[in-house]
Amino acid sequence: MLEEKSFLIVFASQTGTSEDVAAQLAYEANLQNYSTAVISFEELSWDMFMNTKRIVFICSTTGIGDPPDNMKAFWKLLLRRSLSNSLLKNHQVAVFGLGDSKYEKFNFVAKRLYRRLIMLGAQLWGGMELGLGDDQYYLGVNGIFDQWKNNLFKTIEPKSGTYSANDSSSIKIDDEPNCIYKLLEKQDDSEDESHSSDMEGEIVEKELLTDSNYEKKVVKILLLPKENSINGTTYVPGDFVSIRPRNDRQSSMELLELLGFSDCSDKLYKVERNIPPWALKTAEGNSLHPSNKAKKLVDIIEEMVDLNAIPKRMFFIIASKYAALESEREKLAELGSAEGLDLYWSYIVVPKRNVLETLQDFPSLKGNVPIGILLDILPRMYKRSYSISNYDPKTHQVRLTVAVVNYKKHSKMPPRLGTCSNYLLGLELKSKVFYSLHRGTMDIPSVVSKKPNVQTHDGVSNISDSAIISNSSYPIIMIGPGTGIAPFMSFLEYRKSHGIRDNVMFFGCRYKKKDYLYQEELKQYVDSGFLKLFTAFSRDVDQVRSEELGGLESADSEQKTDPESETRSNTEQHLVNQSAETNNGIDSSLGSTEPAAKHTGERKTYVQHLILQQSPLVYDLLINKKAHVYVAGRLNSMPDQVFDAFASALTNNDMSQNSAKSFLESMKKSKKYQVECWE
């Protein structure tokens, strides 16, 4: 039975920001004598959802309007047509979304969830309208969330005044404000069992795909799963894996030293959820930890805390209660407060100051923070996802294309490191890697587009060979700049295995000799007649800027371009809707290579320009051959510019601009134009 002053907080997060916002809400609610439970969508069982009558949802939007991975399974349950419009008539709900208004599908997930809950009869708790956090707001998502949160408490607690969670007088120093986790010391681990749902793989191949002297490294890693890890699961082109990284032992020990717990590093602790009795219907949190077994404290830090991440606001809100020096308490409180968001932004967000660097600035925390709340204040270690770059239904080997994140953010600070990419980079051959398989958002024509009903408990489809069909061999157009090429390597391998030759790829990178990924492998596809390839090298001055390799048998080798039809400003590239003329003189039947254009001045060629150059071919593929389009890569202006390039290519062939865009939008709706991008 739901207590009078209690509510459930459910978050959907890909990187941890939504979880931090959920924790902030729970912390303040607990101080106002509310009983709360914070869980992810992944943990939310249908029974708990139906039996809990007061729920606040916090969710982010990923990719091109996609829900975070830990929300997808529950979202499908919520979309069932059989659900009654009065299903949630006794529910009180509130929804806050985290997004970025510079993207077209701003807070798309939160908006859809809000509408669906209302459609199913839910009532707005306190009459709270949908909250839309925006990274473009001058104080970021947190600035808008603070306003929304304060309005929520004013509405449901009209007598609560102007209470602030950052008021140090509002909590006793002896209290341990556990919001999500408890860290409990154990004497032994004999009574606990491991319940990991991850597969175990071994690195059997590791190769640098970029030039050894190039600063932006990309590594190919091949994983061979243990036979007892497969359990009937396999993958299809377009799927991805999520990998659970670890910190190195030295950094983990440094954290414990900074907090005064180095003497406890080998003691056994168990991680437990802070779930009140009324909320104990929650499902097991398999995603929260690879095991519920008691482990050494240093091992828990290695597995569960992201030491490369910036500390979230909850760190400062709670840590301000425990610093021994008053000056540090005041500074920590300011950094966690609504009034201190500007300082938090300039001190933490802009320089990407990680948790170790932050702790070094507040030495009086050492020995004063209760060990039980460490996992509530330190950045959570989240899985990282990588597209599968091969197709191997026999051995189930998984090839990953990993861009190693290592960049200088500030001249006076060490380089910023990507947690998972550097973890993988540092592993030797035969090292163990734990991962899970997931269905991707892209389906090629010759792969079943719907999941079979059989699933593992973590939502991965058990797709057998019989689920693969090959009665559809439409041409496909793949646009994959940089590591966006990763999923398309699996597309090519699959389609070649089924004898499907109509494959076109537009690939772009900076330098032909430095970061041309899978160059030899692509050449083999071209030479064997399974690929028509167009490439752009944006930073190669006075070298070949783009080239055509191989081709479809019916492709027209006449290319029409105009150097004046493409320009680049300081911030973005603009496509000009003009046709032009140049004859590349390519004999596609020979698979030869010849320059299409030179790099001149400040102009640079990107994949969208290649699409425009190949207008006749693009028109023929889309209109006459009913080709499917796939776009993958970093989530910036590229997806929109590629869309505009396709529209321009159609317009150059006597289609009106409105008709071209309507045609492409209809392709999107029918999943013949699919986009998968990442931050």
At 120, list the tokens. 């199913």
Dihedral angle over CA of 39, 44, 48, 51, nearest 10: 80
At 47, list the tokens. 């029974």
CATH value at residue 74: 3.40.50.360
Q: Which residue among 443, 467, 491 closes a domain?
A: 467
The pLDDT of residue 235 is above 50: yes
| Domain boundaries, position 270 | 182-193+247-377
pTM, full prediction = 0.81
Burial class (CB in 10 A: 0-12, 13-18, 19+), 335: buried
* Nearest residue to 399 (alpha-carbon basis) of 524, 515, 237, 216: 237
Specify the pLDDT at position 452: 39
Specify the pLDDT at position 104: 80
User: Would you place residue 66 in the very low, low, confident or very high pLDDT band (cuts 50, 70, 90)?
Assistant: confident
357-412, pLDDT tens digit by residue?
A: 999 999 999 999 998 888 888 998 988 999 999 999 888 999 999 999 998 777 67
Position 75 in a domain: yes
Task: Tell me what percent of the residues of the chain surpass a pLDDT of 90.
Answer: 53
Position 567 in a domain: yes
CATH value at residue 292: 1.20.990.10
Q: Are residues 45 and 22 part of one domain?
A: yes
Over residues 479-507, the mean pLDDT reads: 95
Helix/strand/coil for 452: coil
Domain count, the chain: 4
Amino acid at 216: K
Position 170 in a domain: no
Q: CA–CA distance from 240 to each of 98, 243, 406 (Å)?
A: 24, 10, 23
Residue-wise DSSP of 313-359: HHHHHHHTTT-SSHHHHHHHHHHHSSTTHHHHIIIIITTT--HHHHH
Amino acid at 79: L
647-669, pLDDT tens digit by residue?
A: 999 998 889 999 999 999 999 99
Position 146 in a domain: yes
CATH value at residue 445: 2.40.30.10
At 83, list the tokens. 């659900």
At 306, list the tokens. 């992201």
- Among positive and negative, which fits the CA dihedral 22, 24, 28, 33? positive
Specify the pLDDT at position 271: 86
The pLDDT of residue 189 is above 70: no
Specify the pLDDT at position 564: 28
Average pLDDT of every residue of the chain: 81
Position 594 in a domain: yes
User: Would you place residue 292 in the very low, low, confident or very high pLDDT band (cuts 50, 70, 90)?
Assistant: low
Position 174 in a domain: no
At 338, list the tokens. 């609504």
Angle between helices 519-527 and 486-497 (to 10 degrees): 30
The pLDDT of residue 482 is above 70: yes
The CA distance from 222 to 177, in Å, is: 43
Residue 678: enclosing H or E segment and its boundaries?
strand 673-678
Q: Are residues 203 and 108 part of one domain?
A: no
Specify the pLDDT at position 576: 30
Highest-pLDDT range among 37-46, 401-410, 637-646 = 637-646
Task: Tell me what percent of the residues of the chain surpass a pLDDT of 70.
Answer: 78
Q: Are residues 413 and 296 part of one domain?
A: no
Which one has a higher pLDDT value, 295 or 173? Answer: 295
Q: Are residues 83 and 52 part of one domain?
A: yes
Q: Which residue among 439, 467, 495 closes a domain?
A: 467
At 456, list the tokens. 């593992």
Determine which of 96-105, 167-176, 482-491, 496-505 has the lowest per-residue pLDDT on average: 167-176
The pLDDT of residue 328 is above 80: yes
Q: Are residues 277 and 128 part of one domain?
A: no
Specify the pLDDT at position 273: 77
Determine which of 167-171, 400-404, 424-428, 434-438 has the lowest per-residue pLDDT on average: 167-171
At 657, list the tokens. 């601009």
Q: Are residues 266 and 329 part of one domain?
A: yes
User: Would you place residue 550 in the very low, low, confident or very high pLDDT band (cuts 50, 70, 90)?
Assistant: low
At 71, list the tokens. 């929300």
Position 169 in a domain: no
Q: Are residues 102 and 201 part of one domain?
A: no
Q: Are residues 219 and 314 part of one domain?
A: no
Q: Are residues 67 and 145 part of one domain?
A: yes
Q: Are residues 653 and 579 part of one domain?
A: yes
Q: Are residues 342 and 228 part of one domain?
A: no
Burial class (CB in 10 A: 0-12, 13-18, 19+), 574: exposed
Q: Are residues 320 and 189 part of one domain?
A: yes
Specify the pLDDT at position 440: 84
The CA distance from 399 to 393, in Å, is: 12
The CA distance from 608 to 508, in Å, is: 9
